[in-house]
Chains A and B, each alone.
Chain A
């Protein structure tokens, strides 16, 4: 035991003073008596004791004083040298989900970590790094509890050997828990625990889809591989938000990617589509599933609004063209009529741009702004990267008259050349990912857009853009991790245990004070 402030022990010189103070005062009177026995009996009858110096009471007082002085001097119990920090590299790649004897390698690894962390001294600083999939770092109490460490998924994107060598230090111990999958070699630094074992595995390595939304047609092409010693027959099951599809049987060849294409017809209500590869003896079933959320099909009811000056011909033609493109129907516009898209040509319409799924051609939505005709604007260019116009040829577009005031604020995708202002938008998209409206600054009758071959496709894309994210697929299954399928090609090595950790210096001041208080408390009961 060492003392931080040994000079404070000089306070022990107060002990003689305490002894002097503890002495009972000497009486000033003295009397001779022959009845000392009777005095004692009287005191005993009254349960009194003569004032005297109690050795035990003074001993306890001296003990309390000594303990207080000792606490003031800062007693420290020297700890043992050794590392005080532990970094756990926990392999949580997809291959760690491989099951052997009913338990996954990840479960075995986390149980080993929990057991070891529960045995670690409190002074050891613990950090857990989940390697594989999303990198997760936990530190301190959350690391000891393995809080929200997740499930194994994704590829092991780090070199555990290099990471362990980088993290290891004189005060830091690295403990790697891995199945060796996807690693050239296992870490040479720190402790090592190898989990899992080799085994056959079938996996979906890639999925390609062709979405014909808002049409019900849906194509899926599934690439799959079999990592086993010999060919084995498997079965592709498609279930969920599609019409019933019989399972497809396939003869899987070892270490070969094979593709299965399926034409599906989706349900109008949408839902989860699951593609599952079923192979007997597969130790890693987590990579056998592909799940995608199919959006519900829209109600392709298209309403047309056109002013009398514009005439219904172009708008009706556009609506008919769009209905043919998306498989919908044209319905008359009116109050209380539910429509999937509003197609407006000219005139005034009381809609909030971006809040209503609509395609407007020169329609004025703000009555306060008087449109000023812009005659013969020089068409300049279109956005070749926009989903609306990418791949379309609009070079022959001619506009005879445009109304710039009819364009709301939004992302432009058509521009005209103005002599003074430069490039001026002729069309724009207003709204967000879930709902949008497409606005053109000219009426159909004032351009040759309806006559262009790209017009139907532009209408269809405008329809899809008006629905935004509601028309997109949402893949639910985790990303397919390359290199995590062949469980036979993994690095192996011998386990290395954790070294003993150091313990910090323990301050005994609190214990010393507690001892002093106990002595004082005990002294209160001693007479």
Chain B
């Protein structure tokens, strides 16, 4: 086994026009996020427990507490606006993205589906919640980005599209999250190829009282040995190279190892009480089919 100069595979166009249309359609017809439901429940309280510092306005969406409508602004503009405060239970959502090269694996790289998954979840958050924070450890200046309101969907897509491929460990990623604080639910999108390194960070999040949802775009290669024959395997993460002869016995054993990995990933999240969503990525023919992404929206609405 030896290391060689890395020449990573390319990722196809992340957000083509057709996908953006599909995204808008999904967001328009999609259900509300749980954060909105919480706000709806809070609106039923007798006392308006407004607290915190006023940070601005946003457009009214159905389900917002009517007592937060800024009638003066409504009178001036003719549209309904609600006041936004910096409070503990602010309706927000945090996306934690794994930019490591290991997500470039797959016939169609897993990174493509990670970005589209982030776009759908982020889009839902922009449409239904107060804000969205995207944390991408290792991305330099773009490691942390905040978005508010549905109008920033394009900015979100542009931000996601511009994220580089950088190696980042799970400890470092969670370190950034803990340092900045978790706003709302944390959606962690990764391939979790090394569950052992995720165990301590998840435990730390649990101690902080964070709510975490793990997202794993599942490729066909995650369920069975991808190839047969005499080939060279390149490790995306380390650049290591290994020549291997894949026969039937080795393929069967590899499938067994992949099943073990899946069980480790499930156990990792289960022991912290967090859900792990395995999203089977669509076939190339269904890349732009709404049904392929409908399950994401449904999961987000729970």
Contacts and interface: CB of A to CB of B under 8 A. Distances in A.
B290 interface: no
Contact of B240 (A28, A29, A36, A45): A36
Contacts of A29: 227, 229-232
A41 interface: yes
B193 interface: yes
Contacts of B242: 36, 39-40, 50
A32 interface: yes
B243 A32 contact: no
Contacts of B227: 29, 31
Max chain B C-beta neighbours (<10 A), residue from A26, A42, A45, A51: A42
A31 B235 CA distance: 9
A30 B8 CA distance: 12
Given A32-B236, A34-B191, A24 B231 contact: no
Contacts of A52: 1, 243
B84 interface: no
B257 A31 contact: no
A369 interface: no
A38 B250 contact: no
Given A39-B244, A50-B244, A51-B243, A32 B234 contact: yes
B291 to A, nearest CB: 27
A385 interface: no
B224 to A, nearest CB: 11
Contact of B233 (A26, A39, A41, A51): A39
Contacts of A26: 232, 243
A33 B236 contact: yes
A31 B229 CA distance: 11
A35 B258 contact: yes
Interface string A435-447: 0000000000000
A308 interface: no
B102 interface: yes
Interface string B250-289: 1001101110110000000000000000000000000000
Contacts of B258: 35, 38
A46 B252 CA distance: 10
Contacts of A42: 250, 253-254, 256-257
A31 B254 contact: no
B155 interface: no
A37 B194 contact: yes
A30 B243 CA distance: 9
Contact of A31 (B232, B237, B249, B250): B232
Contacts of B253: 42-43, 45-46
A33 B243 contact: no
B220 to A, nearest CB: 13
Contact of B105 (A33, A40, A41): A33
A48 interface: yes
Contacts of B245: 50-51
Contacts of A24: 243
B104 interface: yes
B217 to A, nearest CB: 12
Contacts of A36: 233, 235, 237-238, 240, 242
A27 interface: yes
B164 to A, nearest CB: 18
A33 B221 CA distance: 9
Nearest to B259: A38
A28 B249 CA distance: 21
B interface: dominant SS: mixed
Contacts of A32: 8-9, 104-105, 233-234, 236
B234 A43 contact: no
A39 B191 CA distance: 17
B126 interface: no
B299 to A, nearest CB: 23
Contacts of B191: 34
Contact of B234 (A25, A33, A40, A45): A33
A435 B233 CA distance: 108
Contacts of A33: 105, 221, 226, 233-236
A35 to B, nearest CB: 7
Given A38-B257, A51-B243, A43 B232 contact: no
A39 B251 CA distance: 9
A27 B242 CA distance: 10
Nearest to B100: A34
A33 B103 CA distance: 9
Contacts of B256: 42, 45
Looking at B1, B8, B235, the one whose CB has the most chain A CB atoms below 10 A away is B235
Given A39-B244, A42-B256, A34 B226 contact: no
A50 B241 CA distance: 11
A39 B244 CA distance: 9
B243 A27 contact: yes
A43 B105 contact: no
A45 B230 CA distance: 19
A43 to B, nearest CB: 7
B232 A35 contact: no
A39 to B, nearest CB: 6
Contact of A30 (B193, B221, B232, B249): B232
A38 B105 CA distance: 14
Nearest to B110: A34
A33 B234 CA distance: 6
Contacts of B243: 24, 26-27, 50-52
A25 B256 CA distance: 28
Contacts of B105: 32-35
A33 B256 CA distance: 16
Interface in B126-171: none
Contact of B257 (A34, A41, A48, A51): A41
A184 B104 CA distance: 109
Contact of B249 (A39, A46, A51): A46
Interface string B191-231: 10110000000000000000000000000010000110111
Given A36-B240, A36-B242, A39-B242, A30 B231 contact: yes
Interface of B: 1, 8-9, 102-105, 110, 191, 193-194, 221, 226-227, 229-238, 240, 242-245, 249-250, 253-254, 256-258, 260-261
17 contacts: A24-B243, A27-B230, A27-B232, A27-B243, A28-B230, A32-B234, A33-B221, A34-B102, A34-B237, A35-B105, A35-B257, A41-B257, A42-B253, A43-B250, A48-B250, A50-B243, A52-B1
Closest 9 pairs between A and B when the two form their complex, measured CB to CB: A29-B231, A34-B102, A38-B257, A34-B105, A42-B253, A36-B235, A42-B254, A27-B231, A30-B232
Given A30-B231, A31-B233, A33-B235, 12 more contacts: A27-B232, A29-B230, A30-B234, A32-B9, A32-B105, A32-B236, A35-B257, A36-B235, A38-B258, A40-B242, A41-B257, A42-B250
